[in-house]
Amino acid sequence: MTPLSYRVLRHRLPNGLRLLISENRRLPLLSLTACVVAGADQNPAGRPGLANLTARLLDEGTEAYPAEELAELVEGTGGVLGTYSVRELSGLGFNLPARHWRLALEVMAETLRRPVFPRRHFLRERERLLNQLRAARDDPYQVADHLLSRVVYRGTPLEHPPAGTIHGVRKIRRDDVRNFHGEKYAPSSTLLAVAGDVDSAAVVEAVRERFGDWDNPGYRRDPLPPLSRQSAPRQRRLHLDREQLHILIGHLGVPRSHPDFHALQVLDIVLGSGPGFTSRVPRRLRDDQGLAYTTFSDITSSSGLWPGRFLAYVSTSPENRAAALEGLLDEIELLQREGISEEELTLAQDFLTGSFVFDFQSNADLARFLIQTELYGLGEDYPRRYPEIIRALTVEDVARVARLHLDPVNYTRVMVGPLR
Amino acid sequence: MTSADSDPRSAPARPVIEKVRRHRLDNGLTVLTLEDRAVPLVATMVWYRVGSRYETAGQTGLSHLLEHMMFKGSSRFGKGEIDAVTTRYGGTNNAFTANDYTAYYFCFASDRWWPALEIESDRMHNARFDPREFELERKVVREELKTEMDESWGALRMAVERRAFARHPYGFPVLGRYRDLLGLTPARLEAHYRRFYCPANATLVIAGDFDTARVLERVEGLFGGIPAGRRASLDLPAEPLRERTLRLRVRRRGRLPRLLVALPAPSVREAEHYAMHVADKILGEGRRSRLYQRLLQQEAVVSNASCDFSDTYDPYLWSVGAELLPRVEPRRVEDVLFEELERLGREPPPDEELRRAKNQCTFAFLSSFESPLDQAVQLGLMETLHRFEYWNDYCERIREVQPDQVCRLAGRYFQRARAVIGTLTP
């Protein structure tokens, strides 16, 4: 395996904020990612979309900078600042020319610590979000995905899309946003990753100056109700006037910290998310039967602090429905019944250990990787240990996790498309 | 010392681009190498000068289907073996087809990337066209086409592009028309392959951690014996500038009303295209851009407005897509949009705005050279459309763009009479 040549400086401020820096001097570029451990999982009942709307408003004006001035500062560098909010995380990403690194830290500190959520901007951003949720209803895949989550995460804030719902977002008030920010954004819940052409020591110093006095005694993190896998099969169907039928099969998956995670990564490569058409599902449904352009299965990519979802997907013409469904289910059952061959195991191990290096190609990739390492407590030596972990897995391990974590009986089947 | 002290006017990607070398094999194959030992990866790409631009009415979709068939077997690598080798060596591969080009890539760790060259050399002249595989892949492409047509933006974009070009093949969908796909045969596909997949019509790009001299020897051994063929040089008359607005409507592909306005734009071979890059940023990049300010903030008529522009061989399109807020008439959005476009055509942009747009161009350029694969994409693209040296002075040329050049360009192209305007309604 090619050695990975990046180094990380980890630093924790007394207030709990975690800072990760990796110098990369190849190009005069910089990527900054701020990550707050509060996403849709922290939405209060009846307020799906609150974490998302809060994140979207972080850069719409702060105590020191009105929105327009902030945008001018950011965009004047030529760089790009964006906010995000997903299942369990929210934050900002800022890519820019490295020489503006001080400005970038200033922007991060202001937006994370002192957003003011101006009323006019709140109202406009809520309207925009509502319209984007309307747009999402036109996308059959997203519709199917949401229907699946409603069953998998039933009774928790995760049953709604992280972006929110039209009904829920309509009810959000400006005070909800202020309260969410007040309760969930805190130094102890924040990770800052810096990758690019910078001097680590200078960055640490500048971060201390801008974040050292941040304190949030009101910080609160809400536990999620326990999640469990469904104990009976379910079905959801929605008619949409389209050419293709979108079929999703799925159920609850595992968190990133699950000891079976790596064996499940091998399972993913063998079953449905290897490169090209090497995996069983795409090889059968696309390469050998020509039923679909897009088809895959996956359980690990959605694993996080909370359990993700196992899903198998195909979009196809309605006349192929039976063959496509049979193909997906057959492959899951076959994997459970017969496991995988030594040859498949070796191939998946070769791929996972060989392609690991792609996680560090750009500054943004590197920043993302640093955050994950920290968030999931993988340890500094994870890149070095990873190949060993993968190589140690056996066909028995994969067969065991296939039986344990996949369920071809008690799953949810979602169909969206031409059903009438 | 930190880079905060460095000279903001230096052309920062220069050191990377200055390392690019062009080599030419006797059979005409262009080879671009960019040796950069900093990241332990090697990206390889092969670019062919073929895409929907080189197709004719009734036979659209040939180039794209051909791209799919390139994974279905050649003499040394049978069906599925390209992916199997890629997986075994822990790499990635894929391919894409556009109107001006078809491109293939591999990315591997630098201690194991040789299979990429062997595969590309084999499928440059030894591809097989098994009739059964052809039938299956045509079904796959049919599903791909349906996916595209089912998407609100996909359906609208296809309809607008088609009407924007009455004569030039840029109006053909890259995926092909459905009925044309039905008429294709393996023999027709193979003829297309024999004509366009040859050294004289291809560029091989290798970027990353390797030794140039050794690699060139290997390239000569693998590609040197392939018959040259000829370079595709198809001169097509430019689509005349439209003198009357064309309006169209797409129904039943979404409930949220959408608007797509397409206007003509210069090709990468025209000098004014640098001003086009700057105009694109002034109008569409970020919150300070004119369209964001006007359409989202002041008038609040749309929830999204995004501009789309790409470098092409012949003059193509600059377009704006917008999602309308409830109870807003498409015509109202159109009116506001053209007020802004026409203003840019009347008044040169102020210095501060120009400076910001130029910084955005420079940053986008630098960011597009981050990884070996990024580098291979940018080099191969420009060599195929024009010449890779384009990147050498890109930042300088952007910096030289004058306010009145932007104004002239906007005045010439961004008129309502020149537009094709599509609306999507329930």
DSSP assignment letter at A283: I
C-alpha B10, offset from chain centre: 28
Q: Could B303 and A350 be called an inter-chain contact, meaning their C-beta atoms sit closer than 8 Å?
A: no
Give the tokens for residue A3.
Answer: 């050695």
Distance, in Å, from the CA atom of B360 to the CA atom of B286, rounded to the nearest integer, reads 9
From the list A357, A242, A261, the residue with the least C-alpha distance to A304 is A261
Cβ(B11)–Cβ(B395) below 8 Å:
yes
Distance, in Å, from the CA atom of B163 to the CA atom of B147, rounded to the nearest integer, reads 21
Q: CB contact, 8 Å: A209 with chain B?
A: no
Cβ(A366)–Cβ(A360) below 8 Å:
yes
Q: Could B256 and A135 be called an inter-chain contact, meaning their C-beta atoms sit closer than 8 Å?
A: yes
Q: CB contact, 8 Å: A234 with chain B?
A: no
Q: Could A357 and B41 be called an inter-chain contact, meaning their C-beta atoms sit closer than 8 Å?
A: yes
DSSP assignment letter at B388: G
* Nearest residue on chain A to B1, alpha-carbon basis: A199
- For A274, B20, B67, B361, the CA distances from B120, given in Å and listed in that order, are 21, 21, 13, 33
Burial of residue B90 (CB within 10 Å: 0-12, 13-18, 19+) is buried
What pLDDT, on a 0 to 100 scale, did the predictor assign at position B15?
66
* B420-425: strand order across its sheet: B246-251, B420-425, B258-265, B316-324, B302-309
Residue with tokens 């007020």: B339
Contacts of A4 in chain B (CB under 8 A): 40
Write the ipTM: 0.95
Sign of CA dihedral A147, A149, A153, A157: negative
Contacts of A75 in chain B (CB under 8 A): 285-288, 356, 360
DSSP assignment letter at A39: S
Q: Could B359 and A3 be called an inter-chain contact, meaning their C-beta atoms sit closer than 8 Å?
A: no
* Interface contacts (A, B; CB < 8 Å): 225
Q: Could B110 and A97 be called an inter-chain contact, meaning their C-beta atoms sit closer than 8 Å?
A: no
What pLDDT, on a 0 to 100 scale, did the predictor assign at position A2?
40
Give the tokens for residue A260.
Answer: 């079976």
Q: CB contact, 8 Å: A288 with chain B?
A: yes
What pLDDT, on a 0 to 100 scale, did the predictor assign at position B150?
95
C-alpha torsion angle, residues A59, A64, A69, A75 (rounded to 10): -50
Residue among B3, B93, B373 whose CB faces A275 most closely? B93
DSSP assignment letter at A74: H
Residue by residue, pLDDT tens for chain A (420 residues) are 344 567 899 999 999 999 999 999 889 999 999 999 999 999 999 999 999 999 999 999 999 999 999 999 999 999 999 999 999 999 999 999 999 999 999 999 999 999 999 999 999 999 999 999 999 999 999 999 999 999 999 999 999 999 999 999 999 999 999 999 999 999 999 999 999 999 999 999 999 999 999 999 999 999 998 999 999 999 999 999 999 999 999 999 999 999 999 999 999 999 999 998 999 999 999 999 999 999 999 999 999 999 999 999 999 999 999 999 999 999 999 999 999 999 999 999 999 999 988 878 889 999 999 999 999 999 989 999 999 999 999 999 999 999 999 999 999 999 999 998
Distance, in Å, from the CA atom of A322 to the CA atom of B389, rounded to the nearest integer, reads 54
Q: Could B90 and A356 be called an inter-chain contact, meaning their C-beta atoms sit closer than 8 Å?
A: yes
Q: Could B253 and A72 be called an inter-chain contact, meaning their C-beta atoms sit closer than 8 Å?
A: no
Distance, in Å, from the CA atom of B106 to the CA atom of B377, rounded to the nearest integer, reads 11
Q: CB contact, 8 Å: A274 with chain B?
A: yes
d(CA B244, nearest CA chain A) in Å? 31
Cβ(A153)–Cβ(A308) below 8 Å:
no
What pLDDT, on a 0 to 100 scale, did the predictor assign at position B252?
82
Distance, in Å, from the CA atom of A44 to the CA atom of B14, rounded to the nearest integer, reads 51
Residue A400 phi/psi, 5° resolution? -65, -45
Interface test with A, best of B10, B89, B137, B139 (most A CBs within 10 A): B139
Residues 302-341 of A with CB under 8 A from B: 315-317
Contacts of B360 in chain A (CB under 8 A): 75, 78
Interface test with A, best of B106, B287, B362 (most A CBs within 10 A): B287
Distance, in Å, from the CA atom of A47 to the CA atom of A411, rounded to the nearest integer, reads 28
Residue among A124, A241, A269 whose CB faces B300 most closely? A124
What pLDDT, on a 0 to 100 scale, did the predictor assign at position A168?
97
Burial of residue B159 (CB within 10 Å: 0-12, 13-18, 19+) is buried
Residue A92 phi/psi, 5° resolution? -135, 150
What pLDDT, on a 0 to 100 scale, did the predictor assign at position A380?
87
Distance, in Å, from the CA atom of A86 to the CA atom of B268, rounded to the nearest integer, reads 39
What pLDDT, on a 0 to 100 scale, did the predictor assign at position A7?
86
Q: Could A75 and B287 be called an inter-chain contact, meaning their C-beta atoms sit closer than 8 Å?
A: yes
Q: Could B370 and A363 be called an inter-chain contact, meaning their C-beta atoms sit closer than 8 Å?
A: yes
* Per-residue pLDDT tens over the stretch B247-283: 999 998 889 999 999 999 999 999 999 999 999 999 9
* Nearest residue on chain A to B42, alpha-carbon basis: A358
Give the tokens for residue A281.
Answer: 């599902």
What pLDDT, on a 0 to 100 scale, did the predictor assign at position B1?
27
Flag residues of chain B having pLDDT under 50. 1-10
Specify the 3-state DSSP secondary structure of A323. Answer: helix
Give the tokens for residue B403.
Answer: 């306010």
Q: Could B137 and A98 be called an inter-chain contact, meaning their C-beta atoms sit closer than 8 Å?
A: no
Q: Could B364 and A68 be called an inter-chain contact, meaning their C-beta atoms sit closer than 8 Å?
A: no
Q: Could B80 and A283 be called an inter-chain contact, meaning their C-beta atoms sit closer than 8 Å?
A: yes
Side chain identity at residue B398, one-letter code: I
Q: Could B366 and A27 be called an inter-chain contact, meaning their C-beta atoms sit closer than 8 Å?
A: yes
What pLDDT, on a 0 to 100 scale, did the predictor assign at position B13?
60
DSSP string across B313-332: SS-EEEEEEEEEPTT--HHH
Distance, in Å, from the CA atom of A116 to the CA atom of B103, rounded to the nearest integer, reads 48
> Full-prediction pTM beyond 0.80?
yes
Distance, in Å, from the CA atom of A321 to the CA atom of A246, rounded to the nearest integer, reads 9
Q: CB contact, 8 Å: A402 with chain B?
A: no
What pLDDT, on a 0 to 100 scale, did the predictor assign at position B238?
86
Mapped to the 3 state alphabet, what secondary structure does A112-151 carry? HHCECCCHHHHHHHHHHHHHHHHHHCCCHHHHHHHHHHHH
Residue A366 phi/psi, 5° resolution? -65, -45
Residue among B83, B111, B150 whose CB faces A277 most closely? B83
Q: Could B255 and A72 be called an inter-chain contact, meaning their C-beta atoms sit closer than 8 Å?
A: no
Give the tokens for residue A368.
Answer: 């993302």
Q: CB contact, 8 Å: A213 with chain B?
A: no
Contacts of B141 in chain A (CB under 8 A): 293
Contacts of B371 in chain A (CB under 8 A): 361-362
Residue among B92, B142, B146 whose CB faces A275 most closely? B92
